[in-house]
Amino acid sequence: MPSPAKLQVAVLDDYQNVALDYADWRTIEDRCQVTVFRDTVAYSEELVERLRPFDVLCLMRERTPLPRALIDRLPALKLVVTTAGHNHAIDGAALRERGIPLCGTTAATNPTVELTWTLILALARNLVDESLNMREGRWQTTVGTDLRGATLGIAGLGKLGSEIARVASAFGMRVIAWSRNLTDERAAAGGAQRVSKAELFEQSDFLTVHLKLSPESVGIIGAEDLGRMKPSAYFINTSRGPLVDQDALVNVLRQGRIAGAAADVYDIEPPPGDHVLRTLDRLLATPHLGYVTKDNYKRFYRDTVEDIRAWLDGTPVRLIE
């Protein structure tokens, strides 16, 4: 039973059941009672009733959205901590109106960069198909694609995109990039050549997305863009699902208009069991693993505990405006 003398802290969506192992929660146990939930519950009466008793909510990225409609029904809520430095699934204005602080954590960029290159290499060398072939007694059924001399297109040459570009140079790839506000100087500093959006899709042999999701960027990559890609090209999205017109991506893959794609992010996460992207040919699909590494989780949960402790002590850290 919850202790009435302690603040009630909920850790949400701990899929792997590791939250308590990756940080020293004992530093707040004298003032807080921590409850961990491993599953995601969509906005519903069930979710409202689950969260209603809690003073503090600890969110793992965007797994459980926190819209105004939910915030308004949580009378005990006093603090929200989200992993990473921003979370578009939280209604910050609704929290501010109630005087509820929103804190974030630090986050590493290398896990997403590493996963992106894992997916690029897996596509280029048909690793999933060939591994399954080995299990079923077959041998060498495909021919891989070389990275050296190929063109890598990057949509979004920020911190992540620039790290992607540095790895590409080691493979001997030509790197081109586009985003709405990218300049020639910033592109060159990031190790790429700035091109137009149309040129990005027309010229890329591998095209990877690293744009930030915002109301203005939803659907920024659509059917016309994907339709410009070469039949031999590959499309990779480890950023956010809503950046890409999902129906358009499904269509180009079903029609064989590009060689293949990899997706780590989706419009709805997790996607329903019968979701087309779970079974689509030519698609290498992974369950949003971009940030899921031991070191990153340690950073997330360590900082979460620090945020709670600082708030209890009256000196909030890592506040998100």
Give the residue numbers annotated as catalytic, written as ranges: 240, 269, 288
DSSP alpha helices (H): ranges in 158-196?
159-170, 184-189
Residue 239's Cβ-count burial label (10 Å; 0-12, 13-18, 19+) is buried
Q: Are 154 and 177 within 8 A, CB to CB? A: yes
CA distance 41 to 17: 16
Q: What are phi and psi of 44, to 5 degrees?
A: -170, 175
User: What is the helix, strand, coil percentage profile of the chain, to 5?
Assistant: 35, 15, 50
Q: How many residues does the chain have?
A: 321
CA distance 132 to 281: 14
Residue keyed to tokens 């790839």: 173
